[in-house]
Amino acid sequence: MGVLFLLAVAAAGAVAAPAKAPAAKAPAAAKAPPASHDYPTADRVLFVEACVRDHPGGYYEMVNKCSCTLDTIAREVSYDDYVEMTTATNANSIGGERGGYIRDVEVLQQDIRKFRTLQAQALKSCLVGVQSPH
């Protein structure tokens, strides 16, 4: 059975999840930093390459800043959500009737706005566009 089918069935309440013993809480000082969602390496490389291309600066400096940007995004959204958001964002510029399917769906427009805001915040927090003094 497919994962989506099992999730749909579980969400509908038809399948009860096995009971788990409550996990022991770690002391506040021992908490790990927020986990990042797992993105495939190839997609990380493509993002960083595009970011370096789009933002002039020293190569190694921009690789680090652009990697930081994707790490920041990955802390906020799952890989599946990232794929949906970037696909809608990229397809939004398709001209004509085909592009209208993207532009006319409000849910996709909300995803596009959310992704652009998240991306802008990540770029800013990772100092992309800010040249370091030489």
What is the structure's pLDDT at 134? Answer: 60
Name every residue whose Cβ is closer than 8 Å to that of residue 34 and which is 6 or more positions away in sequence.
Answer: 75
| pLDDT tens column, 51-62 | 999 999 999 999
pTM for the model stands at 0.69
69 and 51 Cβ atoms separated by less than 8 Å: yes
Number of domains observed in the structure of the chain:
1
Kindly state whether residue 8 falls inside one of the protein's structural domains.
no
What is the structure's pLDDT at 101? Answer: 86
Give the whole-angstrom CA distance, residue 48 versus residue 70: 8
Kindly state whether residue 29 falls inside one of the protein's structural domains.
no
What is the structure's pLDDT at 61? Answer: 95
Kindly state whether residue 90 falls inside one of the protein's structural domains.
yes
**For the chain, how far is it from start to end, CA to CA, in angstroms?**
58
Residues of the chain with pLDDT below 70 are 1-35, 132-134
Name every residue whose Cβ is closer than 8 Å to that of residue 109 and which is 6 or more positions away in sequence.
Answer: 92, 103
Q: Tally the residues of the chain.
A: 134
Kindly state whether residue 15 falls inside one of the protein's structural domains.
no
Containing structural domain, residue 44:
34-125
What is the structure's pLDDT at 133? Answer: 65
What is the structure's pLDDT at 129? Answer: 84
Kindly state whether residue 84 falls inside one of the protein's structural domains.
yes
C-alpha dist (Å) from residue 117 to 16, 24, 40, 96, 108: 38, 37, 23, 26, 14
What is the structure's pLDDT at 23? Answer: 52
